[in-house]
Amino acid sequence: MPFLALDSGVSNPMEEAVQSSHAGLVEKVANYLREHIVMDHFQPGQRLPERTLAVELQVSRTPLREALKILATEGLVVISPHRGAVVAEVSPTDIKEKAYVLSVLEQAAAELTCLNASDDDIAELQALHYEMKACFLRRDRQSYFRLNQEIHNRIVALSGNTALIDMHTNLSRQLYRVRYLSNQKNEKWATAMEEHEAIMAALESRDPEQAGRELRNHLGKTWIKYANGEPIA
């Protein structure tokens, strides 16, 4: 069975992986695999045999191999010589380490955002924040999660530092699975919400040190819990 045929019997699984339809095939394959890895449709440790995947995706092995190499350098899969590619296992240690770096990156981004963002940008951030608060009050975890992600990403985006943004995007992807699962069973939801209030206040008052500290603290608290208990997924 084509492993993700959403509807038709013979449809190609890579439908929406097309970003601007004349993108290279390897990008499509890479995007497709990346998407499914971070969305946890592939279990960690699962093998990704070239030939079978190639026929399922209806591409040849060459672009698939190149896509796998890319994902390997991104840390989403690991390739062993003559043993092929498997979806990267994320150990609790990995998560802790990457989450720590993520918090450092977002701290730096918050500082820059305080200095660089326009008042309109901050206002939009506030708007998203209140939207998120509404979701919190309605106990709508799904939308809360989406808006939370959106806010964090936007703070980083507003930093204006492309290198920082790219590295954050990459790291964030690697933690997406855990981030999502974490959100589902976070008992300290109210605390997280309060921390977001503090972050927004600091951003609004344009206090780089404070904003950075609050954000880093927030991420530290949010993550360490789930990195310490072993069975994340």
Partner DNA sequence: GTGCCAAGAATGGCATACCATTTTGGTCCT
Partner DNA sequence: AGGACCAAAATGGTATGCCATTCTTGGCAC
Binding site for its own copies (CB under 8 A): 22-24, 26, 62, 65-66, 69-70, 72-74, 81, 93-94, 97-98, 100-101, 104-105, 107-108, 161-164, 167, 171
Residues 43-62 that bind DNA (CB under 7 A): 47-52, 59-62
Pick one of DNA, its own copies, none as the site partner of residue 232 (Cβ within 5 to 8 A by kind). Answer: none
Q: Does 5 bind DNA (CB under 7 A)?
A: no
Angle, in degrees to the nearest 10, between helices 162-174 and 92-116: 150
x/- string (CB under 7 A) for DNA, residues 77-116? --x-xxxxx-------------------------------
Pick one of its own copies, DNA, none as the site partner of residue 101 (Cβ within 5 to 8 A by kind). Answer: its own copies
Q: What is the 3-state secondary structure (H, E, C) of the chain?
A: CCCCCCCCCCCCCCCCCCCCCCCCHHHHHHHHHHHHHHCCCCCCCCEECHHHHHHHHCCCHHHHHHHHHHHHHHCCEEEECCCEEEECCCCHHHHHHHHHHHHHHHHHHHHHHHHHCCHHHHHHHHHHHHHHHHHHHCCCHHHHHHHHHHHHHHHHHHCCCHHHHHHHHHHHHHCHHHHHHHHHCCCCHHHHHHHHHHHHHHHHCCCHHHHHHHHHHHHHHHHHHHHHCCCCC
Q: Does 1 bind DNA (CB under 7 A)?
A: no
> Residue 156 CB, nearest distance to its own copies (Å)?
12
Which tokens sit at 9?
């019997």
Residues 111-140 that bind DNA (CB under 7 A): none
> Residue 180 CB, nearest distance to its own copies (Å)?
19
Nearer to its own copies, 132 or 175 (CB): 175
The CA distance from 168 to 170, in Å, is 5
Pick one of its own copies, DNA, none as the site partner of residue 50 (Cβ within 5 to 8 A by kind). Answer: DNA
> Residue 77 CB, nearest distance to DNA (Å)?
11
Q: Which of 63, 105, 157, 175 binds DNA (CB under 7 A)?
A: 63
Q: What is the 3-state secondary structure (H, E, C) of 210-224?
A: HHHHHHHHHHHHHHH
x/- string (CB under 7 A) for DNA, residues 15-34? ---------xxx--------
Pick one of its own copies, DNA, none as the site partner of residue 84 (Cβ within 5 to 8 A by kind). Answer: DNA
Q: By the criterion CB under 7 A, which residues form the site for DNA?
A: 24-26, 47-52, 59-63, 65, 79, 81-85
